[in-house]
Copies of this chain bind each other. A is one copy, B any other.
Amino acid sequence: MTDIAMIEAARGRLSGHARRTPLLSSSFLDDIAGRRIFVKPECLQQTGSFKFRGAWSAISYLPADVRAKGVIAFSSGNHAQGVALAARMHGIPAVIIMPADAPRIKIENTRAYGAEVVLYDRAREDRDEIGRQLSSERGLTLIKPFDEPLVIAGQGTAGLEIAEQAAEEGITQASVLVPTGGGGFISGISLALEARAPGFTVHPCEPEGFDDVTRSLASGTIQKNATQSGSLCDAIVTPQPGTITFPIMSRLCGPGIVVTEDEALHAVALAFNRLKIVVEPGGAVALAAALFHGESLGETVIAVCSGGNIDPDVFRLALDRFAA
């Protein structure tokens, strides 16, 4: 189980490889929200999302002889890029299994980070079977996206930074909002803040229609999303909370905050205008919650922007609608 010692150890391994992202703010955003908003822009992390932290944490922990054989991951998104770059920086092979109909740019980016991309047909092939076969043939180690203590420990290093940066600002109480899919990021952050900033509360943020974590926390049992496709917030859509992350979230987080897709796009445009950062819709749901659903929150909110891997067309859409 991940604990603060594991997160501190992960930070040691990440040092000099992951970025310490800054804490940003803008009085324009404070005025909209009616409270102080700070933003932790993990879109500025290596590969454009926090996923690099967890990937590095897991890969760097492997025994050298195991690591040398390489790693494997299933992902068409930010986890794929995080694993690919972390593997390349370790000088080891990475195999990423992606659906053949994944956006070409994501396939190309993952390849450009040095990974071998294996495509499969979603309708006719079993990706787990493909993964098992490749792993056993080549001795690859699977790097899971969220339900893995070492990955959670890596994501938690962002929580250590939040605790330190908030202390520098003199903040002793805050609501920390985190875009949440499977729950690895918010679990790591919550564990770090439990130890280093116990006055803080942590809230998962999700898009309308894909609010499995919010419903799971409210009901006390794991709830699923009705569908996994059709959201602009694709980066944080997963079938359901993880079996490792759900108990951590139940103990340390909640309640969840749900935002509309329009609110997420509005937050993307405001982050462009007021913070000069590029955030993808899924990565902007916590900022949207801080801006438009802050009623129940305290005077100080820290919104994590979890990623910035957005297609230019979607970014244009946000500008067209909300940055006139």
Interface residues of A (CB under 8 A from B): 16, 19-22, 24, 27-28, 31, 41, 43-44, 48, 85, 112-113, 168, 272-273, 275-279, 308, 312, 315-316, 319, 323-324
- Report how far A216 CA is from B279 CA in the complex, Å: 40
Q: How far is the CB of A133 from chain B (nearest CB, A)?
A: 30
Known: A21-B22, A44-B22. A315 touches B27 (CB 8 A): no
Question: Are B312 and A324 interface neighbours, CB within 8 A?
Answer: yes
Measured CB to CB, the closest approach of chain B to A266, in angstroms, equals 13
Given pairs A22-B22, A312-B324, 13 additional interface contacts (CB within 8 A): A16-B168, A21-B22, A27-B85, A27-B112, A28-B112, A43-B276, A44-B276, A48-B276, A272-B312, A273-B312, A276-B277, A276-B308, A316-B319
On chain B, the residues within 8 Å of A315 by CB distance are: 272, 319
Q: Which residues of B contact A48 (CB under 8 A)?
A: 276
What are 20 contact pairs spanning A and B, CB under 8 A? Answer: A16-B168, A19-B22, A19-B24, A21-B22, A22-B22, A22-B44, A24-B44, A27-B85, A27-B113, A28-B112, A41-B276, A43-B276, A272-B312, A272-B315, A273-B312, A276-B308, A277-B277, A277-B278, A315-B319, A316-B316
Interface centre among A19, A41, A278, A308 (most CB of B within 10 A): A278
Among A20, A168, A272: residue with most chain B CB under 10 A? A272
Give every chain B residue within 8 A of A277 (Cβ-Cβ).
44, 276-278
The residue in chain B whose Cβ has the minimal distance to the Cβ of A280 is B276
Complex Cα–Cα for A263 and B202 (A):
43
Closest chain B residue to A89, Cβ basis: B27
- Chain B residues within 8 Å of A28, by CB: 112
Residue of B nearest to A16 (CB): B168
**Are B24 and A22 interface neighbours, CB within 8 A?**
no
Q: How far is the CA of A126 from the CA of B145 in the complex (A)?
A: 63
Nearest neighbor of A21 in chain B, beta-carbon distance: B22
| B residues near A276, Cβ cutoff 8 Å | 41, 43-44, 48, 277-279, 308
Residue of B nearest to A319 (CB): B312
Taking CB as reference atom, which chain B residue is nearest A305? B276
A44 surroundings in chain B (CB, below 8 A): 22, 24, 275-277
Chain B proximity of A148: nearest CB distance (Å): 26
Q: How far is the CA of A240 from the CA of B315 in the complex (A)?
A: 37
Q: How far is the CA of A16 from the CA of B85 in the complex (A)?
A: 34
Distance in Å: Cβ of A76 to nearest Cβ of chain B: 18
Within the assembled complex, what's the spacing in Å between the Cα atoms of A112 and B324?
17
Given known contacts A22-B19, A275-B44, A312 and B308 CB-to-CB distance under 8 angstroms: no
**Bound form: Cα–Cα A28–B27 in Å:** 34
Distance A159 CA – B247 CA, assembled complex (angstroms): 47
Contacting residues, chain B, for A324 (C-beta < 8 A): 312
